Amino acid sequence: MSKQIHLLRTAIYLRLSRDDEKAGESMSIENQRIILRKFIEENGGTIVDEYIDDGWSGTDFERPGIKRLLEDAKNGKIDTIVVKDLSRFGRNYIQVGQYIDYIFPAYGIRFIALSDNVDTADRCSSGMDMMPIMNVFNEWHAANTSKKIRAVLEAKWQAGKYTNWAYPYGYKAGTDENRTAVIDEEAAKIVRRIYDMRLQGNSVRTIARALTDEGIPNPTAYYTRLDGKKSDRQGSPYWSPKTVSDILKDSTYIGTLTQHRTTRFSYKNHKVLNVPQNEQIVRENAHEAIIDRDMWKNVQAINSRNAQGRADKANRVHPLSGLLVCADCGKKLKGKSAGSNKTYMYSCRTYIDLGKKYCTSHSVTEKQIESIVLQDIRSMLGDVKIDEKKAKEYFLRERTKCGEQNRLSDGKQLRALVNRLAELDKLIQSVFEEKVLGNLPESVCKSLCEKYQLEKEGAERQIAELEKRLAETDCIDAEVEEYITRLKRYAKCEELTREMCLQLIEFIAIGEKVTDDTPRQIHIYYKFISSGQTTK
């Protein structure tokens, strides 16, 4: 360290990470402050400001304190920066070296690291000579610490210990060693209501609006109220469709604990990456469920549908909204009130958008189509107690018919892929032979081999999927029971409901009405049965 200090406008930088806290009082913010203030006072300096990053990693140079420090340095507000040691400033040896050797000198800033005897005013000191080695060691320490933390986390995940800092809405921390999630009944009631509303066919936007209108606090506002603290995040207090959607997709609510869903790119690059599903740590029945598995399964089926439906001005989703398609162009039918009596009708979207040159109207009133669908549902089962056997026979007959068609199609595709695979092997072999004979340049050989190999890998994946699909024959009994269960539930309903439509119907193809004497063709495609039920 230079004997002639002569400090002027001085900035103190203090940093403490969560890992440094384990080192005890010697690394604390207060301890750093005492050491640095004493040094500056003894050398006649004036402290312009303190810049603090408490709980931040030294590998991250997006820290708020360091960003403010660098901004003030560039604006000429300070002449000197003093830190306890180099690791307090940072643990990325490239960035630390860049600031100390290039950026600070460019702005006339003197940098001092007390414990490491680094002072840029004395470039010939032993501390400056050792600085590159110390920076590399500091980064190695960060990398080694990162590996140890990851190993500890993986051990906790495998043991079923909850490591996330927050629990999903509807749960709170348990008092046992594993911090097992326990139900927070006040919030759990809202979660159950969200699932009930979704099962009834409400969109996530409709659900979010209903909860907001009733003044129910969203998860962030709810937890802030419980803690009695003001949240640092300036988030909206209202429910958003994304919040509702996340709750409807979270398997935590059926008792499944899923950890290691995200990771960091590296200990230096803190970009968050999603972990592939097969690499996540999953434990079934890890805690008490809020939602039963049948409801969960039905809600996920609704979430995966393209037919979400849209609410009208009265915030109502009509029973068949999003389920009606044009039998000619394949576009969905759009619903709207028409005429002086405001009759709700469905019409082809292509016709509405582009006119009769591209498609006809395919118009049908809501009352007409709902009556046809309800009648057809009843006719399939009639009296549940008497005709259950008949309904099973119908399901198996239709499913077998469709299944045979699918098997023929899959078998044909499988044979074509197997033949193509054999062709690719011959092509790759011929390319190598031409290369050996000197008839083919190496660059062309490499390009062709890569092309054929990529196609071969894709064909192998498709073959594996087709073989698996052709081998799946043991789930038919479960599908029959599910089909009958749904029919029993809705067979005697007096009116069509959104929930009923989503549970039973895949989609409905609406044909054009030719003449008054020739009824249109309406094909209702039910779940579990891919063939169409025709109604005239």
Give the alpha-carbon dihedral of 274, 277, 278, 284, to 10 degrees.
130
Which of the four pLDDT bands, split at 50, 70 and 90, describes residue 472? low
User: How does strand 281-283 pair with strand 272-274?
Assistant: unpaired
The pLDDT assigned to 27 comes to 63
pLDDT per position as a tens digit, 213-244: 999 999 888 887 766 555 454 557 789 989 99
Tell me which of 264 and 456 has the higher pLDDT: 456
- For residue 194, pLDDT over 90 is answered with yes
Which of the four pLDDT bands, split at 50, 70 and 90, describes residue 469? low
Query: What pTM does this model have?
Result: 0.49
The pLDDT assigned to 426 comes to 84
The pLDDT assigned to 195 comes to 93
Per the CB < 8 A criterion, the answer to whether 195 and 299 are in contact is: yes
User: How far apart are alpha carbons 363 and 252 in whole angstroms?
Assistant: 44
- Taken as a whole, the chain contains a residue count of 536
Per the CB < 8 A criterion, the answer to whether 32 and 70 are in contact is: no
Percent of the chain, pLDDT > 90?
7
For the chain, the maximum distance between any two Cα atoms, rounded to a whole number of angstroms, is 108
- For residue 270, pLDDT over 70 is answered with no
DSSP label at 523?
E
The pLDDT assigned to 530 comes to 47
The pLDDT assigned to 188 comes to 92
For residues 183-199, give the mean pLDDT.
Answer: 91
The pLDDT assigned to 264 comes to 66
Give residue for tokens 């890992």: 19
Residue whose C-alpha is closest to residue 324's, from 530, 525, 534, 528: 525
pLDDT per position as a tens digit, 28-84: 788 888 888 888 888 888 888 999 988 887 777 888 888 898 889 888 899 899 998
In this structure, the number of other CB atoms found within 10 A of the CB of residue 378 comes to 15
The pLDDT assigned to 484 comes to 65
User: How far apart are alpha carbons 325 and 317 in whole angstroms?
Assistant: 17
SS3 category, 236: coil
The CA radius of gyration of the chain, in Å to the nearest whole number, is 34
Segment of 163-177, 185-199, 281-295 carrying the highest mean pLDDT: 185-199
**Cα-based angle 361, 514, 378 (whole degrees, multiple of 5):** 85
The pLDDT assigned to 425 comes to 83
Per the CB < 8 A criterion, the answer to whether 99 and 61 are in contact is: no
pLDDT per position as a tens digit, 364-381: 998 889 888 888 877 765
pLDDT per position as a tens digit, 134-175: 766 666 666 666 666 666 666 776 767 777 767 889 988 888
The pLDDT assigned to 192 comes to 93
Percent of the chain, pLDDT > 70?
73
Residue partners of 233: CB distance under 8 A and separation at least 6? 220
Which of the four pLDDT bands, split at 50, 70 and 90, describes residue 386? very low
- For residue 190, pLDDT over 90 is answered with yes
The pLDDT assigned to 283 comes to 82
pLDDT per position as a tens digit, 88-143: 888 776 788 788 888 888 888 889 888 888 888 877 777 676 777 776 666 666 66
Residue 306 is encoded by which pair of tokens?
């393209």
For residues 24-30, give the mean pLDDT.
Answer: 64
Residue 87 is encoded by which pair of tokens?
């690791």
The pLDDT assigned to 3 comes to 47
Residue partners of 56: CB distance under 8 A and separation at least 6? 15, 17, 63, 65
